[in-house]
């Protein structure tokens, strides 16, 4: 039987942003293993801020498996962290997401490629040309000489792993990029975003490049990085209606601080009311309004207030598990007609 290399990855206990950790399990399987076939595993939580030294075992419970086409007979296994008694660890935000196959999320991950303390392509002193031509830009002046190779390779790696990328683009600031991942099921896209982040960080090692997920790494007239969260429940897509939408927005307004608390650190530096954002302390929504907290797509109104909504407040360093969990918690407070 062939030996498979299973890279078990999980989120550690660092605050405010968890790091991805990973270690390799070698195990024989007849064929590429299914999720049911890969075993629980463990790690030393005292080295990841997830346990005290005297009782440091944490359990890794596989929740999704992806082929790793960079190696022969290899997979990436995404895990939840559990206590030895099987209960979810406090750092396990995934376990707090309501399970629902009919809830869909689409995340837009913006980020900077980063080298020697600067966005990739910034001169060592001073600044490059101001923003304008970088967004969806082409040519050495706009994207440099290795960024495109990295983002294209990342896309191929993700597609080979079965991650549902919907697209990529160069963003407004120099060195800034975006990819979008969509998934049906309340945890699917969030799992895939974490694996995509893992694959990008690992790919960039070879280039001596970092992935900068801070939401405002260059102060001044340079765009910050968002992590727009597009979401829809079955009820929003199939029943919806103006009354339900307005009740939903009232709930989002009521819980705006609870949302901001899990939408990524340092968001006050990004949500300023400038650069296509709403201020951090305000909540509003608007049709096709990119300066709103929640953007309502034209299609939503045209379909009788049915479809998906875009929460534009989450930032690039946000944890998709915490974001999805909070959104569904707020949605759950709004009564549906006969449901």
Residues contributing to the site for ligand ADP (CB under 6 A): 104-106, 108, 166, 180, 182, 228, 230-232, 307-308, 310
Report the distance separating Cα 1 and Cα 32, nearest Å. 11
Residue nearest to ligand ADP (CB): 106
Of 223 and 232, which has the nearer Cβ to ligand ADP?
232
Question: Smallest gap, in angstroms, from Cβ of residue 228 to Mn ion?
Answer: 4
Of 71 and 290, which has the nearer Cβ to ligand ADP?
290
Piece in contact with Mn ion (CB under 5 A), picked from 94-102, 149-157, 176-184, 245-253: 176-184
N- to C-terminal Cα separation, the chain: 50
Q: Which does 232 bind (CB under 5 to 8 A by kind): Mn ion, ligand ADP, none?
A: ligand ADP
Of 12 and 178, which has the nearer Cβ to Mn ion?
178
**Contact residues for 284 (Cβ-Cβ < 8 A; gap 6+):** 278, 292, 293, 294
Q: Which does 283 bind (CB under 5 to 8 A by kind): ligand ADP, Mn ion, none?
A: none
Question: Smallest gap, in angstroms, from Cβ of residue 314 to Mn ion?
Answer: 10
Of 117 and 286, which has the nearer Cβ to ligand ADP?
286
Of 77 and 189, which has the nearer Cβ to ligand ADP?
189
Of 89 and 197, which has the nearer Cβ to ligand ADP?
197
Report the distance separating Cα 148 and Cα 70, nearest Å. 19
Strand order in the sheet with 3-11: 20-28, 3-11, 74-82, 57-67, 41-44
Enumerate residues 217-236 that contact Mn ion by CB under 5 A. 228
Partners of 169 in the beta sheet? 178
Report the distance separating Cα 148 and Cα 184, nearest Å. 29
Question: Smallest gap, in angstroms, from Cβ of residue 181 to ligand ADP?
Answer: 7
Asked if 50 and 34 touch (Cβ cutoff 8 Å), the reply is no
Report the distance separating Cα 154 and Cα 69, nearest Å. 12
Q: Which does 264 bind (CB under 5 to 8 A by kind): Mn ion, ligand ADP, none?
A: none
Report the distance separating Cα 339 and Cα 110, nearest Å. 36
Contact string (CB under 5 A) for Mn ion, positions 177-196, x = contact: -x------------------
Question: Smallest gap, in angstroms, from Cβ of residue 99 to Mn ion?
Answer: 26
The dihedral region occupied by 263, where left means phi > 0, alpha psi between -120 and 50, and beta the remainder, is: alpha
Report the distance separating Cα 240 and Cα 41, nearest Å. 43
Of 105 and 244, which has the nearer Cβ to ligand ADP?
105
Enumerate residues 69-128 that contact Mn ion by CB under 5 A. 108
């Amino acid at each position: 039987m062939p030996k498979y290399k299973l890279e078990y990855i999980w989120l550690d206990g660092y605050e405010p942003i968890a790091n991805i950790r990973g270690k390799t399990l070698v195990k024989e399987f007849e064929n590429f293993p299914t999720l049911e076939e890969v075993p629980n595993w463990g790690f030393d939580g005292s080295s990841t801020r997830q346990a005290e030294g005297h009782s440091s075992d944490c359990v890794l419970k596989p929740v999704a498996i992806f082929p790793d086409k960079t190696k022969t007979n290899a997979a990436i296994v995404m895990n939840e962290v559990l206590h030895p008694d099987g209960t979810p660890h406090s750092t396990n935000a995934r376990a707090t997401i309501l399970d629902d196959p009919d809830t869909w999320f689409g995340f837009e991950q913006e980020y900077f490629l980063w080298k020697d303390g600067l966005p990739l392509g910034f001169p060592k002193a001073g600044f490059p040309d101001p923003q304008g031509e970088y967004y969806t830009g082409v040519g050495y002046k706009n994207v440099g000489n290795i960024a495109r190779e990295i983002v294209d390779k990342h896309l191929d790696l993700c597609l080979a792993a079965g991650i549902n990328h919907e697209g990529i683009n160069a963003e407004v600031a120099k060195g800034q990029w975006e990819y979008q991942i969509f998934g049906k099921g309340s945890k699917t896209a969030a799992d895939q975003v974490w694996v995509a982040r893992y694959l990008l960080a690992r790919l960039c090692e070879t280039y001596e490049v970092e992935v900068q997920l801070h939401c405002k790494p260059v102060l001044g007239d340079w765009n910050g990085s968002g992590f727009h969260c597009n979401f829809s429940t079955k009820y929003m897509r199939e029943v919806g209606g103006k009354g339900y939408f307005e009740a939903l927005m009232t709930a989002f307004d009521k819980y705006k601080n609870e949302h901001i608390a899990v939408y990524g650190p340092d968001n006050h530096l990004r949500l300023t009311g400038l650069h296509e954002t709403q201020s951090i302390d305000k909540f509003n929504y608007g049709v096709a309004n990119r300066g709103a907290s929640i953007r309502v797509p034209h299609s939503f109104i045209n379909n009788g207030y049915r479809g998906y909504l875009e929460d534009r407040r989450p930032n690039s360093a946000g944890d998709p598990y915490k974001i999805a969990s909070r959104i569904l918690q707020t949605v759950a407070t709004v009564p549906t007609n006969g449901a």
